[in-house]
Structure 1
């Protein structure tokens, strides 16, 4: 591990990264997802987007591991058995798509980040509810998993599409939280190895990613405490509005260079 990148960053830049990670952790603890969206959108505003991708990897591995096992191993195993096809496709596509990250030009990368951030946030912000009938479940599961995995590999986030899929499947609330944890947990481990292979996570960037882990977990703990005290729907709407603004900023940067 090299501390070269940390030494290159201004103290104010690191402090801002810590604050962003805490906020992202709080929101993930409160609503169960959105940490990668928030971190990538915000960090990409003042560091190279590929460094932002590297920075989020260890925090999301740690936070997703906590979310997966928070209610015990048995529900996680049951969720894995029920949604194994979705898990396999998501993990495969994450690994494949991640290999494209080092070769995507900077401006295009801002669009790759911004379009799904804005699109997925607006879909949820306006409350679009998808429904999948039993006879369409077999192909919908594969298609949505492929889209989720591609977004996961390119921009480090497959949470919003997964949430939309589970809502469309009319998954019971507590079961949905467990399924999300399993999908995010296995996906984040895949993302870790995928970006070691792609070179995005390397001896230079891993130190930044590692130093953000305790801030992510601290924020997530606070989010868990807020979960039962806040109006979750309003909190979620504010979060999605912030994500939309952040995504529009990424699109602006892609247009202006």
Structure 2
């Protein structure tokens, strides 16, 4: 399904789900399966749900519909993680520049969602996924000095907000920033959850204004949420038995392949 662009005829050859008609059990099962997988990645690694789901959903869901469903799940799944870390005030104070940057970047990125074609969004999404996978597999990380924390935080927030609004996958930029600061795991998860929560709130408000939310998409989000939570539980269990490094490498390799496919689809016109 295309977004509301009167001047652009729909492409009948696309085999996306029609979100304006009744959602079939098969449609719901596919979406649930994707979010179970995304939840498993997040449960095992502490992040990666939107990175995983947005790498797969565009294969059978319109990009704008995938964005709408994903942002709802992103918001709700990170609230519990943020509260669980118990460092709300400290996190908000230390990473205020990132939060202000997100507040600037999200509106900019949201305006681009309606301005750019689905093909461009596929290219942008594929580029983010491939870049993150390659950098992670090659162990390339930023090494930020204390004096660089705040200025780089503004940059990470603005860029992460723009990419997050375009693809709901602003996480790689936030992850690289936090890894560069070498924060400990508890603070890492607290900060990452807060970044995702603020991004999701702002993106949700913007998507509501531009009409990306429909009853059908909210219904799919209601299906995706428990699937993601169940996947997170499974991911926690897997992390206890499978070496974290092996699981991480496997996830990154698969995501890299999916990202390359998204790039090809964007180049070839879907």
Task: Report the secondary structure of 1:201's partner residue.
Answer: coil
Give the drift of 1:9: 4.2
CA distance in 2, matches of 1:33, 1:252: 26
Deviates more, 1:149-158 or 1:10-19: 10-19
Between stretches 93-102 and 164-173, larger displacement belongs to: 93-102
3-state SS of 1:131 partner: coil
Query: 1:252 Cα shift?
Result: 0.9
Distance in 2 (CA, whole Å) between partners of 1:172 and 1:111 is: 33
When normalised by structure 2's length, the TM-score is 0.87
How many positions carry a matched residue from both structures?
252
List per-residue Cα deviations over 1:37-80 (Å, max 9, x = no partner): 111121101121111111212211111112111233xx122111
1:93 aligns with 2:88: no
Tell me the residue number matched to 1:48.
62
Confirm or deny: 8 A CA contact 1:99 1:198 kept in the other structure: no
Please give the alpha-carbon distance, in whole angstroms, between the structure 1 residues aligned to 2:213 and 2:116.
Answer: 16
Change (3 A) 1:141 1:71: closer
1:54/1:205 contact within 8 Å kept: yes
Q: C-alpha separation between the residues in 1 aligned to 2:171 and 2:244?
A: 17
Single out whichever of 129-138 and 213-222 deviates more from structure 2: 129-138
Given that residues 85 and 190 in structure 2 are in contact (C-alpha distance below 8 angstroms), is that contact kept between their aligned partners in structure 1?
yes
Match of 1:241 in 2: 253
Partner of 1:209: 221
Question: 1:197 corresponds to which residue?
Answer: 209
Q: Decide whether aligned partners of structure 1 residues 6 and 230 sit closer, same or farther in structure 2, where only a CA change above 3 A counts.
A: farther
Cα pair 1:33 1:160 within 8 Å, conserved: no
Runs of 4+ in structure 1 off by over 6 angstroms are: none
Larger mean CA deviation between 247-256 and 137-146 belongs to 137-146
Match of 1:172?
Answer: 184
Say whether 1:146 aligns with 2:158: yes
**Deviations, residues 141-167 of structure 1 (Å, cap 9, x unaligned):** 111221111111110011111111011
Structure 1, unaligned runs of 5 or more? none
Kept after mapping to 1: 8 A contact 2:56/2:258: yes
Residue 29 of structure 2 corresponds to residue 15 of structure 1: yes
CA change 1:172–1:30 in 2 (3 A) is same
Residue 173 (structure 1) shift: 2.2
User: For residues 232 and 60 of structure 1, what CA distance do their matches in structure 2 show?
Assistant: 23
- The structure with higher relative contact order (CA 8 Å, sep 6+) is 1
Whole-angstrom CA distance in 2 between matches of 1:249 and 1:222: 27
2:215 counterpart SS class: coil
Equivalent residue for 1:27? 41
1:70 counterpart SS class: helix
Shifted more, 184-193 versus 149-158: the winner is 184-193
Match of 1:119 in 2: 131
What residue is the counterpart of 1:82 in the other structure?
94
Distance 1:189 1:224, change over 3 A: farther
The gaps in structure 2 that reach 5 residues or longer are 1-17
Q: TM-score, normalised by structure 1?
A: 0.91
